[in-house]
Structure 1
């Protein structure tokens, strides 16, 4: 049976997350630890991972962040900020970065360059509008309800849904809802 408890609550893995004020934390062995109190080993793991992505380091510098400590903080927030059931660090190794619904999505000029876009299992990237449609589809709404909620035409909903299905390879609404849940969209 799959463990539905968050990583780091009862195991030695680590779950990174941010709060509503975008302050970074880690959960390990049931303890919440603020970013400024991370141990050197954790900071070294984040640092090594960050330097594997020179384009992301360059983006941090474009943001005006040049202090290494602050670079690590922002890198962590943008790439591992979501609180989910998947461990972000296992056996001292950072796992694949995660898409998470950052409150700055849609307004951040660094979106998709410092953080990752939402990729499907087929490697396709969903657009911001496709993600908005997918969130409502996942709540079980009918196409007409989706159109009304998002202030778009029924034809536009159909087009976005068709694109989402093609990009994900998922065609039933229940499968799209499961995908949205796995990607922390709902």
Structure 2
């Protein structure tokens, strides 16, 4: 099973590249944002529990996020693997993901990290904000905060996979197809 963590800061191009990778490798897309929307929208037990935490202004605990990921993996039988987009976001999530994947007799094949300079990220997000309608893509202060949160809280996940010799960095500036070719070349070695 091919399991890829697609990693990078907001605006690095993870969503764009995910679509192309899903098609090429027949992977299932696993985005925690999508999982939250699904469970909340369907009113599942996991969704109701997540809503309770959010209504109280708290972060949804890692264990609940992992349960949602586990549910998705268990219910996806036709894919050749998964592309983890925007997850794991913390080292404890990465550890929990590794432990959970063992239950399915699989593991993370590798991480592909898109490296993009901060100024390019800001430009991309502001440009995306003009068409996406996302308020967090239209405000430079919020964008700067999201980039800083990524550096402080999420970037350590790269070190976690680097210690397992699963970290692969790609320069995420250039044409979409050129970046896709570089990512594919890395994945083909997994």
Task: Give the greater-gyration-radius structure (CA).
Answer: 1
TM-score, L = length of structure 2 = 0.27
Larger strand proportion of the pair:
2
Larger helix proportion of the pair:
2
TM-score, L = length of structure 1 = 0.28
